[in-house]
Structures are given as C-alpha cells and as structure tokens.
C-alpha cells in the first residue's frame, strides 16, 4: 500500500516539532528517513503508525486517513519496529513475542488459527530466529531481540513497515542480511537510518529532515549531495555510484564541515546520477 504524509504539523508540549512535512512512498518502495539527532525522525514515525496525533495534516495508508481507521484496522495495515523495543515482554518466549504480531487479525475469541501459526512460523524462519524460538525474550542479546521484533512485525502481515534504527545492534553481516530480507518482503517501508551508507544501499528514496522540516527528498544520489551533507549533517563528503553499482559515500580526510566557506561544496566533484524517477516529498 502506498503511504502519503501531507502537510503534517506536530506539536509536543507546545513546541513545534514537525512543520509542514510531506512525503510519499509508492507501494513496495523503501523510503529512508535521515537527518541529524533531534531533527524529528522518530516523531514522524510515531505519527505515521498512529501513536501520535498531528496538530494538522494527514497520514494516509492506502487511501485512508489513519485516524479515520479503527485501531485494529490500522494495526492490520502498519507494523512498527521501534527503538524502545517490545513493550511488556516479561516472561514471554520468542515464539510468544512473534505471535503477538497476529493480535490485530484475531476474531472475538482471540484464538490462534492455522493461518496465524503459518504466519508466525514463516516470520520466525525468515528472520533466522528458529533456534531461539523457546528462549526467554529477556535473555536475548540486542541483535537477537531486533530480529525477533522484526519477525513479530512480519507476522503481523502488514502493508506498511515502519522501522526505527533497526540495524543499530546488529553486526555487519546481520545488517546486510536484514536489509536483504526487508527488500525481499516487497512491503512498503519507511525506515529511519543513521548510517547513510546503509540508507543508500537499502532505500529507493531518501527524505532528509532538518529541524522538523523536509529539506530534501528524492533518489539517493539526488539527495546526498555535498551541499546537504555539509549543511545538514555537518560533514564534507561526496556520494557516487561505483562500478559495481553500489552507491557509496566518501568522507573527506577533514570530514567536519565547520570550515566550509560560502559557496564551497563539501568534497569536490559531481555526485548526481539521476535515475529519472519522480522525487518524493515537497
Ligand atoms: N515531549 C516533548 N516535548 C518537547 N520536545 C520534545 C518532546 N519529545 C521530543 N521532543 C523534541 O523533539 C525533537 C525531535 O525528537 P525526535 O526524537 O523525533 O528526533 P530524532 O530525529 O528521532 O532524533 P535522534 O536521531 O536523536 O533519535 C527533539 O529536539 C526532542 O528533544
């Protein structure tokens, strides 16, 4: 399902946190949300998965305003993997945690059926946590927990996946495995990523948030240009597609961009390679 965020304004404790934020993800797109600490990424995710009501603007999953849907219908459409983990997980095994993802699909009796068992088993296998299935969730390492939380989200059979720093506990191989897994699901995904190289590898499009507003949006090579890397992230760097097809960011030896003078661009050289797709965001 497509995701449309239209002119969103979010206020927390009377402070404007997001201002006039718009973005779109087409069905099956993976859109990366990047920006410095405190730029509003998590706040935007919370608004998208309906845990935070905006002061103004609308979030549509498919054609529907998420606040016009029942919580249950909204939960069938959108699954989130968040930084603060799994909610109340006391005493639960890995399988029980993953099975929680089926809750929005249960009937009034709340019993698991064959389809629920299938969805849980499939998610456990895809996320590589079969060997942990009977372990107490609390006993797992940070990286193992993240895999389990992704399995819970996939068991939910969502049409939109919202990920907040999914890879931050993962070793390098596990990062690549998880990125591959997300790609193969085909689920529309909005993912906050601090690692710009990973964002460039995973995402079809990026949206850059800075001080609560969208300052750039579009294909990776159009967005991670020296000016944005310098002005928003404060680093001197350039982004290129290498001969193997992978987009990589090269940071200058003196990577801190504080010394940039007016008109100077961080790390010389052109970086844009347009792929002809329409930009997202506004
Ligand atoms: N309840 C609140 N009241 C006032 N300000 C808040 C509240 N919650 C968050 N903020 C502020 O909103 C801003 C955006 O926070 P948010 O967590 O969305 O940023 P972020 O981009 O996800 O940051 P990070 O990369 O550090 O995780 C921050 O300046 C934060 O201090």
| CA-closest residue to ligand 1 atom 13 | 38
Centroid of ligand 1 to alpha carbon of 10 (angstroms): 11
- The reply to whether ligand 1 has any atom less than 6 angstroms from the CB of 238 is no
d(C-alpha 209, C-alpha 8), whole Å: 13
Please give the DSSP secondary-structure letter assigned to residue 243: T
| CA-closest residue to ligand 1 atom 24 | 37
- The answer to whether residue 81 is domain-embedded is yes
- The reply to whether ligand 1 has any atom less than 6 angstroms from the CB of 15 is yes
State the CATH number of the domain containing residue 140: 3.40.50.300
Q: What is the pLDDT of residues 138-159, one digit of tens each?
A: 999 888 998 999 999 999 999 9
| Cβ contact 76:155 at 8 Å | no
Please give the DSSP secondary-structure letter assigned to residue 93: B
Q: Calculate mean pLDDT across residues 222-245.
A: 94
Same domain for 260 and 151? no
What is the token pair recorded at 71? 């919580």
Which of 86-95, 139-148, 224-233 is predicted with the least confidence, judged by mean pLDDT? Answer: 86-95
- The reply to whether ligand 1 has any atom less than 6 angstroms from the CB of 46 is no
Q: What is the pLDDT of residues 31-61, one digit of tens each?
A: 999 999 999 999 999 999 999 999 999 999 9
CB burial readout 156-166, b (16+ within 10 A) else e: bbbbbbbbbbb
Q: How many distinct structural domains can be found in the chain?
A: 2
- The answer to whether residue 280 is domain-embedded is no
- The answer to whether residue 281 is domain-embedded is no
Which of 107-111, 135-139, 186-190 is predicted with the least confidence, judged by mean pLDDT? Answer: 107-111
Report the nearest atom of ligand 1 relative to the CA of 194. Answer: 25
The preferred substitution site among 9, 39, 207 for testing ligand 1, maximizing ligand atoms within 8 Å of CB, is 39
- The reply to whether ligand 1 has any atom less than 6 angstroms from the CB of 11 is no
Same domain for 158 and 108? yes
- The reply to whether ligand 1 has any atom less than 6 angstroms from the CB of 88 is no
Which of 113-117, 220-224, 240-244 is predicted with the least confidence, judged by mean pLDDT? Answer: 113-117
d(C-alpha 231, C-alpha 237), whole Å: 11
Range of the domain at 216: 3-224
Average pLDDT, the chain: 88
- The answer to whether residue 120 is domain-embedded is yes
Alpha helices in the chain (DSSP H): 41-48, 71-77, 94-100, 114-126, 142-155, 172-185, 196-202, 220-223, 226-231
Q: Count the neighbouring beta carbons within 10 Å of the beta carbon of residue 257.
A: 20
pLDDT band at 261; cut points 50, 70, 90:
very low
């Amino acid at each position: 399902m497509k995701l449309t965020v239209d002119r969103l304004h979010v206020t927390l404790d009377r402070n404007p946190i997001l201002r006039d934020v718009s973005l779109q993800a087409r069905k099956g797109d993976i859109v990366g949300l990047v920006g410095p600490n405190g730029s509003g990424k998590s706040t935007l995710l919370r608004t998208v998965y309906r845990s935070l009501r905006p002061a103004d603007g609308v979030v549509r999953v498919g054609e529907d305003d998420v606040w016009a849907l029942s919580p249950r219908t909204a939960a069938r459409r959108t699954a989130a993997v968040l930084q603060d983990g799994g909610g109340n997980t006391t005493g639960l095994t890995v399988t029980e945690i993953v099975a929680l993802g089926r809750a929005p699909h249960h009937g009034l009796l709340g019993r698991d059926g064959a389809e629920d068992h299938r969805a849980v088993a499939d998610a456990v296998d895809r996320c590589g946590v079969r060997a942990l299935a009977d372990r107490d969730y609390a006993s797992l390492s940070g990286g193992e927990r993240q895999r389990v939380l992704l399995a819970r989200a996939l068991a939910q059979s969502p049409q939109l996946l919202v990920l907040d720093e999914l890879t931050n506990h993962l070793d390098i191989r596990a990062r690549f495995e998880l990125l591959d897994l997300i790609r193969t699901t085909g689920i529309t995904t909005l993912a906050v990523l601090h690692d710009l190289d990973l964002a460039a590898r995973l995402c079809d499009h990026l949206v850059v948030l800075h001080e609560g507003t969208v300052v750039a949006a579009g294909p990776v090579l159009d967005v991670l240009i020296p000016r944005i890397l310098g002005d928003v992230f404060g680093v001197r760097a350039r982004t290129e597609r290498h001969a193997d097809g992978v987009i990589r960011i090269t940071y200058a030896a003196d990577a801190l961009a504080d010394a940039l003078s007016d008109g100077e661009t961080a790390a010389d050289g052109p970086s844009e390679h347009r792929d002809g797709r329409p930009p997202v965001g506004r």
